[in-house]
Amino acid sequence: MTRQVVEAGEQPDGEGADALPLAASIRAIERAAGALATASVARMDEVLPWFRELPADHRAWVMLVAQAGVRSLVQWLRRRGEPDGSGPQEISDEVFDAAPRALARSINLQQTVQLIKVTIEVTEEQVPHLAAPGEEQDIQDAILRFSREIAFSAARVYARAAETRGAWDARLQALLVDALLRGDSSDVLASRAAALGWDDKPPVAVAVGRSPGGEAAMVLHTVYRAARRIGVEILGGVHGDRLVVVLGGASDPLAATSLLLAGFGDGPVVVGPAVPSLDEAAESARAALAGYRAAPAWPAAPRPVSAGDLLPERALAGDTEARRILRQDVYGALVRAGGELLDTLEAFFAAGGVLESAARALYVHPNTVRYRLRRIGEVTGFTPLSARDAFALRIALTVGRLDPSAAPPLPPTVS
């Protein structure tokens, strides 16, 4: 391969009539451009294992870029040697336009630098055969400066691609979150999530809080950086004054959200229930939004707070899902468990939470009331002896009484 390069370049004749410095050497490099590119690609195949695994069309694109790079070196040398010395020294990014943009998505910046390094090394090895007598050192120095400029050019190309990709990703994420909040079909969510590379690791949950303000990209960057540190997959969007974050792969979404609070503004942060996949995340989003709207009614709420812990406030604010849960899963559970639990709870509330007074009203021993109150906690998940849980149970009793038809019938007795 080295001999082919030498033959293609031919030894310069050292003509003294050249108008520009290094003109003879430049002509030799120009004649050897194709051979230099071929030798460079062959060297890449030898020393870069990942290059050998590229598809044939990608390797052909690399050959085109290498040829364009050698031609760019020739043009750069000619501009450098202009009589007034004012020729532009910055490399045009057009050298990378020889390959489709798909190549930038297949080869990262670090790999591109490796390709440039190999091409420069091959070219430097041929300088003794291509440079005119006495111009070898000048050509070597020029190639070193050119390699720096071509590296900067590659960095600019990748930076622009990353900026464009980042802007598109941000727009796509905003559309996905908007579709999630509207409750669009799972097909719409799946297609947009796939375009963003969402892995859909279970469980999935939605967190809603106030945006800290400022540019949306910077707001989301803060959340993404925190999410990377804890190994959680997220999608996010700023909607008005709200920051909506979809979490994936967090075994405890509430605990994970507590580590992302730096990205939220002041005020409550509400986490919806965990669901198996993004297809069902609309349910989590609805609960989180309803909880966010109702959260001001509980000033002492923890931050973040589960949407399930805000069931009574959500029901009072008109959330039909919260009313359904309280009616069917709490009030209905008491009815299904037997009338004695419901009667005991009502007597306990009527007695102002005094256990002995409730026992006298029911004509039972206080220990019986204690046992039934424990059973109520097991059946409903709310403990009457806790002030917060007692509030939720009161709302559930009220909602259940307003719609008694929703309570399931008692199981038939066995005679």
CATH number at residue 343: 1.10.10.2840
Domain count, the chain: 3
Decide if pLDDT at 396 tops 60. yes
Closest by CA to 65, choosing from 22, 27, 111, 5, is 111
Question: Exposure of 212 by Cβ count < 10 A (0-12 exposed, 13-18 middle, 19+ buried)?
Answer: middle
Domain contains 79: yes
Assign 352 a pLDDT band (cuts: 50, 70, 90).
very high
Mean pLDDT of the chain: 82
Domain contains 169: no
The better pLDDT of the pair 152, 389 is held by 389
Question: Do 275 and 387 lie in a common domain?
Answer: no
Poorest-confidence range of 132-141, 188-197, 279-288, 381-390?
188-197
Question: Do 235 and 280 lie in a common domain?
Answer: yes
Decide if pLDDT at 292 tops 90. yes
Domain contains 153: yes
Tell how strand 305-306 and strand 233-239 pair up: unpaired
Name the residue range of residue 140's domain. Answer: 2-163
Q: What would the mean pLDDT of 43-49 be, rounded to a whole number?
A: 90
pLDDT of residue 26: 85
Q: What would the mean pLDDT of 5-33 be, rounded to a whole number?
A: 64
Question: Do 273 and 332 lie in a common domain?
Answer: no
Cis bond upstream, residue 296 (ω within 30): no
pLDDT of residue 279: 85
Q: What would the mean pLDDT of 201-209 be, rounded to a whole number?
A: 94
Decide if pLDDT at 154 tops 80. no
Query: How far apart are alpha carbons 85 and 81 in whole angstroms?
Result: 7
Question: Do 235 and 383 lie in a common domain?
Answer: no
3-state secondary structure of 238: strand
What does residue 382 show for φ and ψ, rounded to 5 degrees?
-120, 130
The better pLDDT of the pair 140, 378 is held by 378
The better pLDDT of the pair 83, 379 is held by 379
Question: Do 53 and 199 lie in a common domain?
Answer: no
Query: How far apart are alpha carbons 106 and 103 in whole angstroms?
Result: 5
Domain contains 232: yes
pLDDT of residue 413: 45
pTM value is: 0.63
